[in-house]
Amino acid sequence: MAEEGFLTRKFGEGVENYYAGSPLNRLAFLRTNHTYLSTALQHPSTRFILLNNLDPLASTPSTLAFLSYSDISDLIANPYATSEQQLLQTFTSTVDHPVLIFLGIDESAAPEHSIPTPDNKYTGQAYFSLDVTPYPSKSYASTATSLLLTIKSSYPTHEFKTARKDLNLGNEHAAIYASARSLTNWNVTAPYCAGCGQKTMSVNAGAKRACPALDGGVETRKCGSREGVHNINFPRTDPSVIMAVISSDGTKILLGRQKRWPKYWHSTLAGFLEPGESIEEAVRREVWEESGVTVGRVIIHSSQPWPFPASLMIGAIGEAIPGKEDIYLGNDPELEGARWFGFEEVKEALAVTTGGLYDPLPEGYKEGMLRLPPKTAIANQLIRAVVLGEVHLAKI
Amino acid sequence: MAEEGFLTRKFGEGVENYYAGSPLNRLAFLRTNHTYLSTALQHPSTRFILLNNLDPLASTPSTLAFLSYSDISDLIANPYATSEQQLLQTFTSTVDHPVLIFLGIDESAAPEHSIPTPDNKYTGQAYFSLDVTPYPSKSYASTATSLLLTIKSSYPTHEFKTARKDLNLGNEHAAIYASARSLTNWNVTAPYCAGCGQKTMSVNAGAKRACPALDGGVETRKCGSREGVHNINFPRTDPSVIMAVISSDGTKILLGRQKRWPKYWHSTLAGFLEPGESIEEAVRREVWEESGVTVGRVIIHSSQPWPFPASLMIGAIGEAIPGKEDIYLGNDPELEGARWFGFEEVKEALAVTTGGLYDPLPEGYKEGMLRLPPKTAIANQLIRAVVLGEVHLAKI
């Protein structure tokens, strides 16, 4: 293929996809500093996002509601009152704690809302998320239930709203929610050590789980996760690839559809990357498995955190190999259909029909028109990049 | 920054990094087809890579050794003799099975070594990996020990060799080994369900673990991983970012060094992506945490599977923001040093000093010269792309 051309791409600021672009500095290196976290937690200006079954408390469909420490301290007191090392020593698996995550600081906040880091180098307003779900099996269930009632009466207009259904968050709030949702979900769904099967404890301000050597003062099983290099007690992020494939003549784009999608709705192909694969290989494998088309050159366009539950969408542009562009759906039942669409048809759809899967039909829509995902989906950005010429094939 | 310019990039075939470029078709959609797997497993031409504590059996430092089913059938018989559903029903956690992984087929193999897929559409020589480590705690430990002795006497020149120390595999063997190593390591280090703490079972030909509803015929705990959308029983791949950062004037590249590295050895900065982050954000965060430098524009260059144990290295090029290019190492103790290097110094090092961390000093090396990672590291490709002009800054 090298003889035929090369892909060129222009970059300005780059694409910032929805769920990316957090205004917060994570200050990852302070996650074990309980003195700092303790101050941050209890500062009157510190903001708390509440999650109930992963739905965030929102003041409007586009705005998260932020509560204060005094609103939620009944449920958590101060988990940073002693050091992480001391907490590991006194771990007792029968006592449950709601998932609390330090999300970072907003350095653009006014000085009166800000706290300094221990070295006085950085200052900002602190953000945490707290899981207030009253899981019946947890030892704090009744306290969580009471808290939910109090919040309902104190803030009658706030509501827990479901992402991708009732919410349409602005970019910055979406990005803050993305981190809170992924990390909370991981802490909640993976409470046992995959290495030894024992209960683990949330540490590093919610960004890691540790397998304690003691439970209620009694020594637990030996566990490999306590020594050396390992990954099992760190939160997982699942890389997946999503790709706009251009026909070898540079005039068509490959789109597919799943059975459960509304009529005429299509999107780019996508799938999870597998162990031992590069992104480029995963793009080629997924396209071949799902559509039968063979892809040669691949470039990586941009990425998007996708907190449902913990994916990283890696957006790519691929070029089909001449003579290997026939659609075949028989390998994999993933797609109901896949088709090559001419750029003009796609441009018209971009102008008229984009929208969420469950949105009503847009104004001006005519039966039979191709429907495409909204701008908040990286698929839309990839399709746009290809058919509007941001990425194009050039001969050399 | 948009006013100042854009990054342009030329693409030919694209970069294929070491550990990528597997010659095998994974045939992921046949991983539950035990009839096919059973035939593939027992075909006399089918090739088995053996792993002992993750070290592969090798015939030379650059070549994997491939054994046949008859060489290893004492240890595994045929785990695909019944369906996956039946195996889940009869799961007994006290009986251990060595990790066996179907890696895929080589479609370029001669017909006499090949088997067809059930639909007769694809044909190729099958590859599996088998973990023969005689873990003392496993019920098959003595059989594994005997097998190791038999192999030693049948193939006296083959040896289990350690990657990045005794091995220098060719590209295709490195890629085959990368998948085998990541998946084996994951099956071995994560044998318990993170959702409920019970022992899991390797399914999907080694590419998934399932939490069975029965253990020895007795019902186990309820577990969320058995229903709905979840990720916990799929192998994890940890995305990490690695980036060449260009100074805002386009003349220098930022490199850092860890304390444990040999004198004068530097590489690009790198770190794990966090939940809720895009690749571009992770690049900016890691560079800032480790070096104090603020990055604006980011483009993604290429990627590399890194099976130690299960990372995906995502290579990027970043551009520093004018006035925010001073080095500060005080945030994070990760690096011993970081510095801006002029392109000329780096070009000279690329020509003379690249090599593995533990390689002897190259010929022509003069004390004090910058030392850089070898071509098998994506860092080398990124440095090369920047200083040799594959990616360059262009004004608009």
Instruction: Name the band, by pLDDT with cuts 50, 70 and 90, for residue A3.
Output: very low
Task: Identify from A278, A290, A396 which residue to disrupt to test chain B contact, counting B C-beta atoms within 10 A and taking the largest count.
Answer: A278
- Number of A to B CB contacts under 8 A, please give it: 256
Cα–Cα distances in angstroms (integers) from residue A146 to residues A85, A99, B5, in the given order: 31, 17, 56
Return the domain boundaries, chain A.
2-7+237-394, 31-190
- Given a contact cutoff of 8 angstroms between Cβ atoms, the answer to whether A189 and A309 are in contact is yes
CB contact under 8 A, A304 and B278: yes
CB contact under 8 A, B13 and A297: yes
* Residues of chain B contacting A178 with CB distance shorter than 8 Å: 275-276
Q: Is A107 exposed, middle or buried (0-12, 13-18, 19+ CB in 10 A)?
A: middle
Alpha-carbon distance of B250 to B387, in angstroms, equals 10
Whether A13 and chain B come into contact, CB under 8 Å, resolves to yes
pLDDT in tens, B239-292: 999 999 999 998 999 999 999 999 999 999 999 999 999 999 999 999 999 999
- The DSSP string of B7-44 is EEE--SS----TT-----B--GGGTT-HHHHHHHHH-T
Whether A116 and chain B come into contact, CB under 8 Å, resolves to no
Rounded to the nearest angstrom, the minimum Cα separation between A130 and chain B is 16
* Residues of chain A contacting B305 with CB distance shorter than 8 Å: 275-278
pLDDT in tens, B48-79: 999 999 999 999 999 999 999 999 999 998 99
Task: Identify from B4, B8, B11, B225 which residue to disrupt to test chain A contact, counting A C-beta atoms within 10 A and taking the largest count.
Answer: B11
Q: What is the pLDDT of residue A390?
A: 67
Whether B182 and chain A come into contact, CB under 8 Å, resolves to yes
Closest CA to A381 of B280, B305, B287, B320: B280
pLDDT in tens, B140-166: 999 999 999 999 999 999 999 999 899
CB contact under 8 A, A232 and B190: yes
The closest CB to that of A12, out of B2, B20, B237, belongs to B2
- Given a contact cutoff of 8 angstroms between Cβ atoms, the answer to whether B282 and A239 are in contact is no
- Given a contact cutoff of 8 angstroms between Cβ atoms, the answer to whether A212 and A91 are in contact is yes
CB contact under 8 A, B28 and A285: yes
* Number of CB atoms found within 10 A of residue A7's CB: 20
Stretch A371-387: mean pLDDT, rounded?
93
CB contact under 8 A, B238 and A229: no
Whether B297 and chain A come into contact, CB under 8 Å, resolves to yes
The closest CB to that of B239, out of A19, A307, A312, belongs to A312
Whether B375 and chain A come into contact, CB under 8 Å, resolves to no
Whether B229 and chain A come into contact, CB under 8 Å, resolves to yes
Q: What is the pLDDT of residue A270?
A: 98
Instruction: Name the band, by pLDDT with cuts 50, 70 and 90, for residue B362.
Output: confident
Range A2-7+237-394 has CATH code 3.40.718.10: no
Whether B309 and chain A come into contact, CB under 8 Å, resolves to yes
Output the pTM of the full model: 0.95
pLDDT in tens, B290-309: 999 999 988 888 999 999 99
- Given a contact cutoff of 8 angstroms between Cβ atoms, the answer to whether A5 and A392 are in contact is no
More confident residue, A339 or A8: A339
- Given a contact cutoff of 8 angstroms between Cβ atoms, the answer to whether A91 and A201 are in contact is yes
Q: What is the CA radius of gyration of chain B?
A: 24
What are the residues facing A115 on neighbouring strands? A124
Q: What are phi and psi of B269, to 5 degrees?
A: -75, 160
Q: What is the pLDDT of residue A391?
A: 61
Task: Identify from B303, B313, B392, B396 which residue to disrupt to test chain A contact, counting A C-beta atoms within 10 A and taking the largest count.
Answer: B303
The reply to whether omega before B374 is within 30° of 0 (cis) is no
For residue A177, the chain B residue with the least C-alpha distance is: B276
Closest CA to B266 of B383, B394, B108: B383
CB contact under 8 A, A280 and B303: yes
Q: What are phi and psi of A36, to 5 degrees?
A: -65, -50
Whether B207 and chain A come into contact, CB under 8 Å, resolves to yes
Q: Kind and range of the H or E element at A392?
A: strand A391-394
Rounded to the nearest angstrom, the minimum Cα separation between A223 and chain B is 10
- Given a contact cutoff of 8 angstroms between Cβ atoms, the answer to whether A318 and A254 are in contact is no
Closest CA to A232 of A204, A203, A210: A210
- Given a contact cutoff of 8 angstroms between Cβ atoms, the answer to whether A371 and A349 are in contact is yes
pLDDT in tens, A111-154: 999 999 999 999 999 999 999 999 999 999 999 999 999 999 99
Stretch B204-219: mean pLDDT, rounded?
97
Cα–Cα distances in angstroms (integers) from residue B270 to residues A178, B81, B110, B244, B273, in the given order: 23, 45, 42, 9, 9
Q: What is the pLDDT of residue A24?
A: 98
* Residues of chain B contacting A179 with CB distance shorter than 8 Å: 274-277
* Number of CB atoms found within 10 A of residue A22's CB: 26
pLDDT above 90 as % of chain A: 83
State the maximum Cα–Cα separation within chain B, in Å, rounded to a whole number: 70
Instruction: Name the band, by pLDDT with cuts 50, 70 and 90, for residue B357.
Output: confident
Position B355 pLDDT exceeds 70: yes
Instruction: Name the band, by pLDDT with cuts 50, 70 and 90, for residue B14.
Output: low
Q: Is A111 exposed, middle or buried (0-12, 13-18, 19+ CB in 10 A)?
A: exposed
Burial readout B157-194 (b: 16 or more C-beta within 10 A, e: otherwise) = ebbbbebeeebbbebebbbbbbbbbbbbbbbbbbbbbb
Task: Identify from A1, A283, A303 which residue to disrupt to test chain B contact, counting B C-beta atoms within 10 A and taking the largest count.
Answer: A303
CB contact under 8 A, A312 and B273: yes
Q: What is the pLDDT of residue A12?
A: 43
Rounded to the nearest angstrom, the minimum Cα separation between B367 and chain A is 33
pLDDT above 70 as % of chain B: 95
The closest CB to that of A278, out of B234, B275, B305, belongs to B305
Q: Which CATH number fits domain B6-17+237-394: 3.40.190.10, 3.90.580.10, 3.40.50.1110, 3.90.79.10?
A: 3.90.79.10
Position A7 pLDDT exceeds 50: no
Identify the weakest region by mean pLDDT among A181-190, A252-261, B8-17, B298-307.
B8-17
CB contact under 8 A, B192 and A189: no
pLDDT in tens, B102-132: 999 999 999 999 999 999 999 999 999 999 9
CB contact under 8 A, B275 and A17: no
Task: Identify from A3, A7, A10, A11 which residue to disrupt to test chain B contact, counting B C-beta atoms within 10 A and taking the largest count.
Answer: A11
Q: What is the pLDDT of residue A335?
A: 94
Residues 6+ apart with CB under 8 A from A6: A394, A396, B10, B11, B12
Whether B361 and chain A come into contact, CB under 8 Å, resolves to no
End-to-end Cα separation, chain B, in angstroms: 11
Position B10 pLDDT exceeds 60: no
CB contact under 8 A, B272 and A234: yes
Position B360 pLDDT exceeds 90: no
* Residues of chain A contacting B224 with CB distance shorter than 8 Å: 189
Closest CA to A246 of A395, A394, A393, A396: A393
Q: What is the pLDDT of residue A126?
A: 98
Q: What is the pLDDT of residue A297?
A: 86
Whether B180 and chain A come into contact, CB under 8 Å, resolves to yes
Residues 6+ apart with CB under 8 A from A263: A371
The reply to whether omega before B309 is within 30° of 0 (cis) is yes
Whether B201 and chain A come into contact, CB under 8 Å, resolves to no
Instruction: Name the band, by pLDDT with cuts 50, 70 and 90, for residue A62.
Output: very high
Stretch B335-359: mean pLDDT, rounded?
92
The closest CB to that of B20, out of A237, A278, A332, belongs to A278
Stretch A190-198: mean pLDDT, rounded?
96
pLDDT in tens, A65-112: 999 999 999 999 899 999 999 999 999 999 999 999 999 999 999 999
CB contact under 8 A, B182 and A8: no
Q: Kind and range of the H or E element at A148?
A: helix A141-154
- Given a contact cutoff of 8 angstroms between Cβ atoms, the answer to whether A68 and A50 are in contact is no
* Residues of chain B contacting A181 with CB distance shorter than 8 Å: 276
Classify strands B123-131 and B47-52 as parallel, antiparallel or unpaired. parallel
Alpha-carbon distance of B66 to B48, in angstroms, equals 5
Position B196 pLDDT exceeds 60: yes
Q: What is the pLDDT of residue A9?
A: 42
Instruction: Name the band, by pLDDT with cuts 50, 70 and 90, for residue A308.
Output: very high
* Residues of chain B contacting A302 with CB distance shorter than 8 Å: 278-280, 300
CB contact under 8 A, B299 and A198: no
* Number of CB atoms found within 10 A of residue B145's CB: 13
Tell me the pLDDT of chain B averaged across its residues.
Answer: 92
The closest CB to that of A278, out of B299, B304, B330, belongs to B304
